[in-house]
Amino acid sequence: MRLFSPFDLLILALVIFSANFVFMFKNFTENNDNFVIFADGQKIEIPFERDTTLIINSAKIRIENGTAQIEKNNCRHQICVAQTPLSENGQIVCVPNKIVVSLNRKSDNQLEIDVYAH
């Protein structure tokens, strides 16, 4: 007594192949390049290609030509304003106003390293 006929195995193989193809296509077409701003317990995501200016907690954040920068702020030491514009993966942090500007960029030739081992 057979559990599966050859036709059943063919259908199963097609279903598995289709699921893998959809998963791979989704990963290749997905553009995850974006700026993420955390402020006042909120998360704001802005696409990498979009140019905009935001004012959050008296901080003026400018996103232009693929870079992000805190242009103006009323905090005491102005450390966040003095930081270089963010154009690669990283963060700009303003501690007094509790603002974090982060860039999450995944390019085709970038390999993400999960663990370093010796």
* pTM more than 0.95: no
Higher-pLDDT residue of 24, 45: 45
Q: Three-class SS of residue 89?
A: coil
Query: 102 and 91 in contact (C-beta within 8 Å)?
Result: yes
Q: What is the mean pLDDT of residues 65-77?
A: 89
Q: What are the extents of the domains in the chain?
A: 1-30, 34-104
Q: Is 38 helix (H, G, I), strand (E, B) or coil?
A: strand
pLDDT of 62 higher than 90: yes
Question: Which overall architecture, per CATH, does domain 34-104 show?
Answer: Sandwich (2.60)
pLDDT tens digits for range 5-33: 878 888 888 888 777 766 666 555 555 68
Please count the residues of the chain. 118
